Amino acid sequence: MLLTKCSNGHFYDAEKFTQCPHCGSQGGSAGDQTVSMDRNDSVTVSLTQGDMERSAPRTEASVSEGVSSLKEAVQKAAAGGAAASSDGDSVTMSYYSKSIGAEPVVGWLVCIEGSHLGEDFRLKSGRNFIGRASGMDIAVTGDNTVSREKHAVIVYEPKKHRFLVQPGEAKELCYLNEKAVLSPEELTINDTIALGNTKLMFFPCCGDAFNWDMVKAEEKEA
């Protein structure tokens, strides 16, 4: 996009229009401001010599203020375009969130040893990553013996209603009932998962006796 200011003060895209679509005046004169925008929405602003001569007084502060104002206007326009574009993009929905309207809990991990003693962590459908970084699904933030990201993974497979623990992407190991987890292992109630100085006990919410697919089926029948 080549954003150009006409002689009447209107901005328009000079790559699409040979003259201002608002007032019909021809393209900008030597003193007009032109802004080019690339596909990554970065903004480059150039002021011509004519624009510099019109500044009164010609100070660095006044020129900087004009550039900042112009950048702000263009960035707002770019942000609006990006928002409109994103509205048309499809959003990946979780297994349950579309049908239920929320991401339901499918189980819990309860800390029985370590810095989070007595605290519980919710499990959701799909993959639940464990690590000490705050962005992890299960954030064991107080234990620096746990890898920052993806030390281990707890998986809920909603079609067969089963839980698995599997190694993450870190070099450190996790243990299921004192046995090293080297490949996916199925979880049952009261199993313990150890990572670093932290131990977590597993409690399922979903299974053969109850699961969210049953709730959806009952709603359809009603």
Report the CATH number that the domain containing residue 137 is assigned in CATH.
2.60.200.20
Q: Mean pLDDT score of the chain, rounded to an integer?
A: 78
Instruction: Say if CB 195 and CB 140 are below 8 A apart.
Output: yes
Rounded Cα distance, 57 and 122, in Å: 63
Q: Residue 69: enclosing H or E segment and its boundaries?
A: helix 60-87
Smallest CA-to-CA distance from 79 within 36, 43, 128, 123 is with 43
Q: Exposure of 71 by Cβ count < 10 A (0-12 exposed, 13-18 middle, 19+ buried)?
A: middle
Do 209 and 126 sit in the same domain of this protein? yes
Do 154 and 54 sit in the same domain of this protein? no
Q: pTM higher than 0.75, yes or no?
A: no
Which residues constitute the domain of residue 172?
A: 97-214
- Domain count for the chain: 2
Q: Average pLDDT of 192-221?
A: 91
- Last residue in a domain, options 39, 63, 87: 87
Residue 41 inside a domain? The answer is: yes
Do 65 and 135 sit in the same domain of this protein? no
Of the ranges 41-55, 174-188, 206-220, the best mean pLDDT one: 174-188
pLDDT at 52 over 60: no
Residue 208 inside a domain? The answer is: yes
Do 67 and 124 sit in the same domain of this protein? no
Within 8 A by CB and 6+ apart from 195, the residues are 130, 140, 143, 145, 146, 147, 151, 152, 172, 174, 175
Using 50, 70 and 90 to split pLDDT, how confident is the model at 42? very low
Residue 20 inside a domain? The answer is: yes
Instruction: Say if CB 6 and CB 28 are below 8 A apart.
Output: yes
Do 60 and 144 sit in the same domain of this protein? no
Q: Average pLDDT of 55-64?
A: 50
pLDDT at 58: 47
Q: Average pLDDT of 40-45?
A: 46
Do 70 and 136 sit in the same domain of this protein? no
Do 125 and 207 sit in the same domain of this protein? yes
Do 80 and 119 sit in the same domain of this protein? no
Long-range own/partner contacts, residues 216-221 (CB < 8 A, 24 or more apart): 216/99, 216/100
Smallest CA-to-CA distance from 169 within 151, 155, 187 is with 151
